[in-house]
A and B are shown apart, each in its own frame.
Chain A
Amino acid sequence: MSDATLVQPRTEFLRGFSMRDAGTLIGLIVILAVFGALVPGFFAERNLINILQQSSINACLALGMTQVIISGGIDLSVGPTAALSAVISASMMVAGVPFPLAVGAGFAIGLLCGLVNGILVAHVGLQPFIVTLGTLSTYRALALIYTGGNPVLGLPAGFRAIFNSSLFGLPLAVIIVAFVAIAAWIVLKKTPFGEYLLAVGGNEEAAYIAGVPIARTKIAAYMISGLLAALAAQILIGRLGAAEPILGNLWELDAIAAAAIGGASLMGGKGSVVGTILGAVILGAMRNGLTLMNVQSFYQLLATGLIILAAMLIDRVTRGRG
């Protein structure tokens, strides 16, 4: 084989993969430019860090959501999964359990919630939308029943200090999510699991005949989503110092929006870690800018809706040109 044949595909590879991400990046730049012009102090270092911090929880959830969406599914239960994880971790800490153990238990709850979703989808064969709609209510109910509807207050200072700390001037939450993003990128691009995910979502029948472990792949995607929901929950209760059973309401919609803006297709088989992160930052930057402009929350909602629709329209118009 000649070297020429090995070199050419490489440019093809870069072109094919970064085009959609470049589009999302342009979208982010446009939004930053608009707010930079309209809002004094928008580009202040402190505000930019604020945007990242405010985007971090949604980005964390959206990274898990991206895996599930690529597999051809959807996870509507991330908010209640986070709530259940949060109240259980918090009540353990309040009861005096060392916090690494309590946090570990919270992660285990997240994995368990994802496992239940995954089994119902992959082994029982139910539709992902309906399964996670059902567990959305179920997990929320469990969190409410467990706490009697009351917030769990008085988290230990040591735990709170960790999640409120900064490294190199960046909040720990941002750094954690950055690591998660790198890990997610590696998983998607560099591991067999990533290839399986794209294949299962892209053509399940063909993937099955090619020997891809369909059920295992799908279950793993839901478990990753559950785990990242639990991580988001720990970040939030660390910041707030309390865990409410109703936390994470409508988180799933922001996460889906970030993934979709970033180029994930709800038909499955398509999605990008870089795009999802950019999508989450777009949503975060927009909310931050509108808040600084003192725009009523009604209009923030409107802006969110329009951005999602605009991203999808641009997607539709540019598709089929590659």
Chain B
Amino acid sequence: MKPQNLHAHEDRLLDFAYGELPAPDAQVVESHLQGCARCTQALDDIRGVRVTMGHLSEESAPDAGLESLLAYAQQSARRASAGPAPKPSRWRRWLLPVVGLASVSTLGILTFSAQSPELTQANLAAAEVMPSKKAAPVPSASARSAEPSAAPAPAAAAEAPPPPPEMRDDDAEYAPKDAAKTRSAEVQRAEGWALAGSGGDVGGRGRADELKAKVKGAESFGGKQSRSKTAPAEKSQREVSNLDEEALAEAAPAQAVASSSPPRDGLRLGGSSAKKEANKLSADDLAKDGAWDEGPGAPALEAVTEPLAQGTVVSAPAPSSANESRGGVAQQPSDAREQLELDRASASRAKSPMKATRKAEAVPEAPMPRPAPVTPAAVGRSEAEDSASGSSVAELSRQAQSANRAGDRSQEARLLRLALAAGASGTERAGLLNRLCDAELALGRRREGLAACNQVLTEAPGSSAAQAARRRLSHEAESVETPTSDAQPAP
């Protein structure tokens, strides 16, 4: 037998020993084994090992873990039979982000809604400032354009210095207004956050009300000064004294542009009043005051004679003037008054064009009103109100003047009407009517104010009060025209 064949048989012996050879091949091997001792020995060796190792008995598998294995298999089989098991997981995979997004959206909406009061306040504050921004510059522009025709007479006739101080007053007054506006916006935002965070800043509101009352008092303090005999000049100077030096410096170049800006003065009811209190109150307080002064219910409170309500009454003209500015009748009341005041102030301040000197002058020129405290003024109003019915014309006039100093124009108008009803006559009556005209226009009651001015012209056409009333009416007419032209570009 060749070695190759032998090797081939040995390979087949293994298959033959384990019975893996097909029957024909197995017969061939068997026939070969009968004549081949070597292959027979090899096969015997294989069989001998198999027999020996076959005594190694089979061990049974442990039962430990069998039950848990079958339970696990059962669970797996249920999942397999469920089929679309992965779908829920996929759905859950989407559910979490969707729910999270919805939560964030809800939170954002809630935050926005919580911010909306703040935004409303900011809008209100902006609405209050808007007349100063929207109406004032445009009227000033129109005034600049109209200045050569209408205003130049007094301005040109007077000395050159007086107009610039007036312009400085106005411009400088305007510059802090913008700064105060931005500050007020920030404060409004912060206040809004406080409201949003706590769900309503009761304390903050109370504080704002308190500060508002203080501001009202201070505002009335300013109004009181303006109503005094030297009021026009004093008021302007006091306003200037409250301005920053830098703002004045910035406002200086604008002096050459126009000689006067009545529309800006009209904003003093809301804006300049806030500036007046800048000495006593912070910009934050002013911003809050500007926001709280606005309100639909404020005009309705004009008729209220209670001292507490009078603090709000002062704020009434602000929204009305703002509304009128949009409607085309803006700033007329204060414009007429301010023009009168400015005319007087221009004369009184002719010697002191510089604001620093004017600042110094403001103190001695107004020694009377400044010491007047805010709270006693309110108390005095209530006392004057109690005694108004039985007082004489002079007493009522004095009380009305006190109310004017306190800034309570409504009370002033009421007392003036009482004084007129008490039987005032002659020059005194004309003066009372003139003051009533001023007070009514300042309160935004244009019709009543015009009626009072017309009554002065009718009853005492040649008096100085009639001249003032005529001047006030002319300015009123101008301011009526100006806002209409301003209202045109408005949306």
Q: Are A and B interaction partners?
A: no
A residues with CB within 8 A of B: none
